[in-house]
Amino acid sequence: MILPLVAAAEEASSTLLRTEIAAVVLLAIAAGVAVAASRLRFPFTVALVIAGFAATLLGDVVAVEVSPDLILALLVPPLLFEATLHLPWANLRADLWSVMNAALLGTALGTLAVAFVVHNALGFEWPAAFAFGALISATDPVAVIAFFKTLGTPKRLSVLVEGESLFNDAVAVVAFGLAISVAEGGSFSATGAVVDFVVVSAGGLAVGIVLGYVVGELILSRLDDPLIETSTTLALAYGSFLAAEEFGIMIDRPSLHFSGILAVVAAGLMVGTVGLKNTSPSTRLALEHAWELLSWLVNASVFLLIGLSVRVGELVDHAFEVLLAVAVVLVVRAIIVYGLGGLSQTLGLGDRVPWDYQHVRFWGGLRGAISLALALTVTAEMVGFETAETIRVMTFGVVLFTLLVQGTTMAPLIGRLGLSGRGRTALLQQELQARVYMARSGQGEMGRLGADGVLSTDLADAVGQTYQRRIGRQSSSLSEHFGRHPELEFAMLAQARREALTAELGALADVVRIGLVDQDVADALSIEVETRLAGLDLLSQRWELERSPDGDGRREGGAR
């Protein structure tokens, strides 16, 4: 199958055809990796990076130019928007101090510390050192969100890690821009740097809030069409990014621009917090499903492109620099999480964050698409050829380490700390349910053997009664377990109800397909079922908040 594609790629004179072939091959690879990763219980995003690296062996078939614009302008906005669409503002507000402390002060401290090390150890000029410190200090929201979606972590922990990764890019991007400006012959001013940061950040937030409000209050509230609303929110994701980045051009001041990343984050929060309340349950479900699909496609593209960008030979040639960068990034991350976090708790600033959460925040400081995109913008004209190449290779090395090493060990760490959705109480529930199911199956088999005459009736009855006693004991233990942990029973019932409602939708589609029910009737019934699904989701969220006022849920061995 590959040979005809290679031939087509070699013969194609059209860039569009080459791009289409590459997109088809990469999409097929992503689908195959998804199946394999699911069966092998391996992190999907890590598997994508490995697959992207292996895909380079296909040559021109997947020859995609990985440019900063491709990552920042095309792939990052929808991922950020989809993430903030489901980020509860109430939970974020409760831990806003912890999030902003790490996102602002932590990223600034990390930039300075990394710059100091690479300046003294590698001889980088200060502008180049600060540029690398800035681009490598921001934890990447694309990588972090992709991992946390699959781990079933407590909501508060997800908010802490995801919130920091979403907001710290403003500091990193502004600091990076200032360093590059100085490297190109500009001047540095501490006061000017602070002013630039405030203007870029506040401007980006303002653009996102305004556009998010317009879409949420003035458009979504007046429509009830999933296709139109999905298209509108997609336009908002890209439009808010472009409006912020190109704001100066729109007002005839080309030198002025705001943070497109913060604009997307603000727009997503506005739509998720306010806009979705104005949509019907069925439209909201359709909107969420559409964004989930788009997020999967873009997420797969990002990590495949990271894999395609890696050159092992370059990593080997710069092994010392890469190892130094990895080491300093880990040390600085530990100082930020444990040092700043501990100081805040000592001073009583913000709500206390459990140390188990801090361990995950430290090891979950993944780097990815944002760092890669910024590194690709560093050219020889800015900092010199050798320095630019070293920065790029060190960035690739740190990104690979965080994804392949930290990424593959995140799930075991979270499980060991008892923070995953598969905690001890949930596993015990599953064990008890499995024992009841096994005993009932054994009892049924003994009854069949007795009825068929394979065993005597007395013997079959005796063994059947033994099974019945086992069933009684396990059922009693299960009831007691649910009594001690009512959230497990509610979650199980909610999941069962969700599966039943999904089955109803499937049955409705079947009767429409064979012509027993008109489409108009089916649409009305579908809205009814989807409304129940939406109500079930709201009930589940309310249950979680009621049983855990701080939003992080209960777990074994600890409170907040």
Q: Give the mean pLDDT of the chain.
A: 80
Confidence of residue 186 (pLDDT cuts 50, 70, 90): low
* Residue in 85, 81, 497 with CA at minimum distance from that of residue 273: 85
| pLDDT confidence band for 122 (50 / 70 / 90) | very high
For the residues 222-233, what does the mean pLDDT come to? 83
Interval 396-446: pLDDT, tens:
999 989 988 988 888 788 878 877 655 566 667 778 788 888 888 888 888
384-to-127, 313, 379 alpha-carbon distances in Å: 11, 21, 7
pLDDT at 557: 38
Mean per-residue pLDDT, 42-63: 77
Across residues 348-358, what is the average pLDDT? Answer: 83
The more confident residue out of 70 and 317 is 317
Q: How far is CA 122 from CA 66, 134, 325, 518, in A?
A: 27, 16, 10, 72
Which CATH number describes the domain made up of 68-416? 1.20.1530.20
Is the pLDDT at 482 greater than 90, yes or no? no
Residues facing 555 on adjacent strands:
558
Share of the chain above pLDDT 90, in %: 16
The confidence band for 487, taking pLDDT boundaries of 50, 70 and 90, is: low
Name the one residue in this structure whose structure tokens are 């509610």.
Answer: 490
pLDDT surpasses 50 at 548: no
| Least confident window among 117-126, 143-152, 227-236, 466-475 | 143-152
What pLDDT shows up at residue 424? 64
pLDDT of residue 552 exceeding 50: no
Q: Could you tell me which residue, 86 or 281, shows the higher pLDDT?
A: 86
Asked if pLDDT for residue 554 goes beyond 50, the answer is no
pLDDT at 449: 83
pLDDT band at 147 (very low <50, low <70, confident <90, very high): low
124-128, 342-346, 506-510: lowest mean pLDDT where? Answer: 506-510
Residue 112's pLDDT band, with cuts at 50, 70 and 90, is very high
Residue-level pLDDT at 115: 93
Share of the chain above pLDDT 70, in %: 85
Predicted local confidence at residue 4, as pLDDT: 53
Q: How far apart are CA 322 and CA 434, in angstroms?
A: 49
Name the least confident of 267-271, 357-361, 535-539: 535-539
Residue 98 has pLDDT above 80, yes or no: yes
282 pLDDT above the threshold of 60: yes
pLDDT at position 264 is 92
Asked if the model's pLDDT at residue 82 lies above 90, the reply is: no
Cβ atoms of residues 395 and 135 within 8 Å: yes
Q: Residue 338 gets which letter from DSSP?
A: I
Pairwise pLDDT comparison (42 vs 320), residue with the higher score: 320
Backbone dihedral angles phi then psi of residue 558, each to the nearest 5 degrees: 175, 150
| Distances 387 to 150, 326, 368, 392, 404 between C-alpha atoms, Å | 38, 17, 21, 9, 25
Please tell me which of 5-19, 56-70, 256-270, 481-495 the model is most confident about, judged by mean pLDDT: 256-270
CA-based nearest residue to 397, from 132, 201, 176: 132
The residues that bridge with 558 in the sheet, in sequence order, are: 555
Angle subtended at Cα 18 by Cα 16 and Cα 24, rounded to the nearest 5 degrees: 100
For the chain, give every domain's residue range. Answer: 2-62, 68-416, 423-484, 497-560
Do 268 and 80 touch, CB atoms closer than 8 A?
yes
Six token digits for residue 394: 């060190």
pLDDT at 540 over 70: no
Alpha-carbon span 169 to 264, nearest angstrom = 12
Is pLDDT at 141 greater than 70 in this prediction? Answer: no
